Amino acid sequence: MKLFHSPETPVTDQTIGQALAAFRDGVLSSTELVQACLERSDDGRDLNVYVTLDAAGALAAAGAADAARAAGLPPKPLSGIPIVVKDNIHAAGLPCTAGTPALADFVPQEDAPVLKKLRDAGAILLGKTNMHELAFGATGFNAAFNTGSQPGVRNPYDSERIAGGSSSGSAAALGARMALAALGTDTGGSMRIPCALNGCASLRPSWGRYSASGIVPIAHSRDTAGPMALCMADVALLDALITDEHGLPPVTLAALRLGVAQEFWNNLDEDTREVAEAALETLRAHGVTLVDIPDAGLQVLNQPVGFPVVIHEAYEDMVAYLREQGPAIDIQALARGIHSPDVRAIYEQWVLPRKMPGEDGPVDVAPAYETAQHGGRTVLRERYQDLFEIHVLDALVFPTTPAVAPLASPEVNRPEQFERLIQNTEPAASAGLPCIQMPIGLGSRSGLPIGLELDAPLGTDRRLLAIGIVLESILGRIPRA
């Protein structure tokens, strides 16, 4: 096992709240924190975290934050906090490649609204992070834009393993303590999967709660940006700044009811089962009520929804994006520039011809899309709501991924690996529900991070974040790589 190690830099282990307190107490400057993150980034070049690292810009912003603090100006909520952003989210003046050479020369002139909110709050952008090409995958094994000797974004806990995807570099940056927070995107698990594999926390917000402008799309009815950080309180802070929804409702462990749907506990490897079941026992011991649900049926209901929606919307949404927000190339030119064989195959076989697999070969995806949008998705959402109401649940709880990070190789992008990684994250994405991912431990055999996901009723994002903060207080946080 080849592990990524670098010199001790404890300053980068801090949460946002701890760093802000250190700034106020005068024991840490923004420049010192940014410099420490840049040193971690340089030490971890072989992890292939960045597409663009803007060291000069970040240090200049840190100096300005320090000067403002010294002048006694009122601090902003994130003054001097270094963050990274997935490279499918627009950042003014920096390339936005979406992990594909086809967009390598595209430089947006404005921040996406989700990033602007954080920069307006004082956040310092270190750079744009690597990702599964065009966000069309769950591994982050993308041989384009690499800074190290091995292809693909690598896991800081074991550099011979994947970081997960598609928000690969954002999660790996947090796991390696190259930044204190990040933005990613999630269509079917793209924030939750890499955060689970890299030991960090995230929120997939209720669909439509965050602006989708300035973000390279896959499927508009499933895509969402979201915050990623080292602890749930930081995720809640980022969410509040993006949405202007401040405050958290009170949560008591004795009143908390979590559903354990058995279908999300299948196909688990030994480490994942051991750590996740131990977490449930800890919750139960602290008064949380766990409700067994043997027949949820959510994964079956999702099967006719997920693939048709993504493939159908991927064509029109990309065409519109390239025309209205992107570099004004056509989708065929984009497809010709795709580097990853797995993503190229998706575009050539399904997206461009607008087909999907049928019993006797490829078939037109439009009828299945109409059925999914106007029938299947409604049924899935209603089933979720029935489960929440019948069992009086605050959320469903289960392992985010069924297994720890697999070894990195071109074979990791096989369809069966993709299906396993998204097994538990896909249904809630189709339903548009809010989901949190929180790290709960390291496997006793692998030493790799394991994550727990909670899915809650639509629109209950702030309550779900409050639940995550309370659960983290008893489950604890895991050490950095």
Q: b/e for 225-261, b at 16 or more Cβ within 10 A? A: bbbbbbbbbbbbbbbbbbbeeeebeebebeebebbbb
Domain assignment present for 176 = yes
At 369, list the tokens: 């899309």
Residue 179: name the closest of 44, 41, 61 by CA.
41
| Structural contact between residues 12 and 35, judged by C-beta atoms closer than 8 angstroms | no
Domain assignment present for 324 = no
Count of residues making up the chain: 481
| Catalytic positions, written as ranges | 86, 166, 190
How many whole angstroms from its chain centre is CA 37?
20
| Structural contact between residues 362 and 156, judged by C-beta atoms closer than 8 angstroms | no
Tell me what pLDDT residue 10 has: 75
At 181, list the tokens: 């927070």
Residue 335: name the closest of 348, 316, 354, 325 by CA.
348
Residue 387: name the closest of 277, 261, 288 by CA.
261
- 56 SS3 class: helix
| Structural contact between residues 229 and 16, judged by C-beta atoms closer than 8 angstroms | yes
> Within 303-436, where are the H helices?
306-324, 331-336, 341-346, 366-371, 377-390, 415-421, 426-431
Domain assignment present for 366 = no
CA distance linking residue 305 with residue 302, whole number of Å? 5
Tell me what pLDDT residue 4 has: 44
Rg (CA), the chain: 21
Domain assignment present for 235 = yes
Tell me what pLDDT residue 457 has: 98
pTM of the model as a whole: 0.96
pLDDT in tens, 232-275: 999 999 999 999 999 999 999 999 999 999 999 999 999 999 99
Tell me what pLDDT residue 360 has: 87
Domain assignment present for 319 = no
Encoded amino acid at 454, one letter? L
Residue 361: name the closest of 353, 370, 369 by CA.
353
Tell me what pLDDT residue 481 has: 84
Cα angle value 300/203/440 (rounded, 5°): 85
Dihedral angle of Cα 328, 142, 341, 193, to the nearest 10 degrees: -100
Domain assignment present for 468 = yes
| Structural contact between residues 365 and 311, judged by C-beta atoms closer than 8 angstroms | yes
- 477 SS3 class: coil
Domain assignment present for 277 = yes
CATH of the domain at 98: 3.90.1300.10
Q: What is the domain range of residue 280? A: 10-290+396-475
| Structural contact between residues 394 and 152, judged by C-beta atoms closer than 8 angstroms | no
Considering its fold, how many domains does the chain have in total?
1
How many Cβ atoms sit within 10 Å of the Cβ of residue 376?
22
Identify any residues that bridge with 186 across adjacent strands, giving them in sequence order: 224
Residue 255: name the closest of 434, 395, 436, 387 by CA.
395
At 242, list the tokens: 């993006």
Per-residue pLDDT of the chain (481 residues; tens, 9 = 90+): 444 434 444 799 999 999 999 999 999 999 999 999 999 999 999 999 999 999 999 999 999 999 999 999 999 999 999 999 999 999 999 999 999 999 999 999 999 999 999 999 999 999 999 999 999 999 999 999 999 889 999 999 999 999 999 999 999 999 999 999 999 999 999 999 999 999 999 999 999 999 999 999 999 999 999 999 999 999 999 999 999 999 999 999 999 999 999 999 999 999 999 999 999 999 999 999 999 999 999 999 999 999 999 999 999 999 999 999 999 999 999 999 999 999 999 999 999 999 999 888 899 999 999 999 989 999 999 999 999 999 999 999 999 999 999 999 999 999 999 999 999 999 999 999 999 999 999 999 999 999 999 999 999 999 999 999 999 999 999 998 8
Domain assignment present for 313 = no
